[in-house]
């Protein structure tokens, strides 16, 4: 399978996360994250054990996989928390700067060197993201603390993808995520408990949406992104994920009837053009697990 096709599928899956979170109602964000990763962890652990993927797990990669899981949890914790302290516009714009961080770090960390066209595509996509964010919440810059949290979330997910790019060169997909996902789930659970969030007592439909969040956006979507990291650079994968707000807006429109503004539609078109520009020069490796 062409990794680019799987990237399209992955982005489509992760794009449904915003809708499912909205449908979960007033469930605390950290609890939603904990249920999401908890559900995904149960699935991938069962699959990994059934296939014997964890036998002979290289100890040299254990700490690296643990670090990847911590980074994934930090991404969710920082970004979700930023929404409580800054505008949606600022949060979305700042958290989507992670492809720039990945592009800057990749030559040193993974040896991948993004070309000028790839970087140009990322910048174009970022300008589209800015238009979408502005159309959502105007020009309110939000607070400095909230903006810092969003940037921290961006840095955390950038580190997660960079680590994943390294690990996937030596480890199967299931073996990798069977360690990273449970670590992230435990971290988010601890964060939710530390914040005093209840873990039960929510309306019955909320549990369904949170389970679907773990099965769709996480198991199918995020795992596909991790699969692609073996065949595409971390820069390419993070650039593709920049199309997520476009898919999220479309799903919310179709299900909840919240139509995007003309500015958001124009911004979405710019994002897709930027992602296409960034991915077109990317060379792929022969797919394997």
What is the mean predicted confidence (pLDDT) over 76-82? Answer: 84
Q: Which two tokens stand for residue 184?
A: 């992230």
Mean pLDDT for the chain?
85
| 8 Å CB contact between 244 and 11 | yes
Determine the Cα–Cα distance for residues 200 and 18; give it in Å rounded to an integer.
Answer: 21
To the nearest 10 degrees (0 to 180), the angle between helices 116-137 and 88-95 is 170
What is the mean predicted confidence (pLDDT) over 116-126? Answer: 86
| 8 Å CB contact between 271 and 247 | no
Q: Cα 50 to the chain's mean position, in Å?
A: 27
Which comes out higher in pLDDT, residue 7 or 84?
7
Q: Which two tokens stand for residue 209?
A: 């949406």
Q: Which two tokens stand for residue 255?
A: 């299900």
Is 16 among the domain residues?
Answer: yes
Is 286 among the domain residues?
Answer: no
Closest CA to 44 of 236, 172, 209: 172
Is 287 among the domain residues?
Answer: no
Is 285 among the domain residues?
Answer: no
pLDDT of residue 73 exceeding 60, the answer is: yes
Which tens digit of pLDDT belongs to each residue from 129-169? 777 767 655 444 557 788 888 889 889 999 999 999 989 88
C-alpha separations of 104 from 22, 88, 213, 287 in Å: 34, 26, 31, 26
| 8 Å CB contact between 207 and 32 | no
User: Number of H helices and number of E strands within the chain?
Assistant: 14, 0
Is 91 among the domain residues?
Answer: yes
**What pLDDT score was predicted for residue 139?**
44
Domain count, the chain: 1
Determine the Cα–Cα distance for residues 271 and 218; give it in Å rounded to an integer.
Answer: 23
Q: The dihedral of CA 168, 170, 173, 176: what is its sign? A: negative
pLDDT of residue 89 exceeding 70, the answer is: no
Is 288 among the domain residues?
Answer: no
Which tens digit of pLDDT belongs to each residue from 232-275? 888 888 888 888 878 877 887 888 887 877 887 888 898 889 88
Is 206 among the domain residues?
Answer: yes
Range of the structural domain that residue 172 is part of? 3-279
CA atoms within 13 A on the CB side of 111: 3
């Amino acid at each position: 399978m062409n990794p680019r096709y799987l990237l399209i599928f992955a982005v489509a899956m992760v794009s449904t996360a915003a809708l499912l979170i909205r449908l979960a109602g007033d469930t605390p964000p950290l609890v939603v994250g904990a249920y999401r990763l908890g559900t995904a962890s149960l699935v991938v652990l069962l699959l990994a054990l059934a296939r014997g993927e964890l036998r002979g797990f290289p100890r040299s990669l254990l700490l690296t996989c643990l670090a990847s899981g911590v980074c994934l949890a930090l991404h969710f914790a920082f970004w979700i928390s930023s929404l409580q302290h800054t505008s949606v516009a600022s949060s979305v714009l700042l958290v989507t700067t992670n492809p720039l961080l990945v592009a800057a770090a990749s030559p040193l960390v993974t040896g991948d060197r993004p070309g000028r066209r790839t970087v140009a595509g990322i910048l174009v996509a970022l300008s589209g993201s800015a238009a979408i964010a502005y159309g959502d919440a105007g020009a309110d810059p939000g607070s400095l603390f909230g903006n810092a949290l969003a940037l921290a979330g961006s840095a955390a997910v950038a580190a997660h993808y960079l680590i994943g790019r390294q690990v996937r060169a030596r480890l199967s997909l299931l073996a990798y995520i069977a360690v990273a996902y449970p670590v992230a789930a435990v971290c988010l659970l601890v964060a939710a408990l530390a914040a005093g969030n209840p873990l039960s007592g929510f309306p019955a439909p909320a549990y369904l949406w949170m389970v679907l969040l773990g099965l769709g956006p996480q198991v199918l979507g995020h795992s596909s992104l991790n699969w692609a990291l073996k065949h595409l650079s971390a820069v390419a994968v993070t650039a593709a994920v920049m199309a997520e707000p476009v898919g999220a807006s479309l799903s919310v429109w179709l299900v909840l009837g919240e139509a995007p503004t003309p500015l958001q539609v124009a911004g979405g078109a710019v994002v897709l053009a930027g992602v296409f520009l960034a991915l077109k020069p990317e060379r792929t490796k022969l797919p394997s697990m």
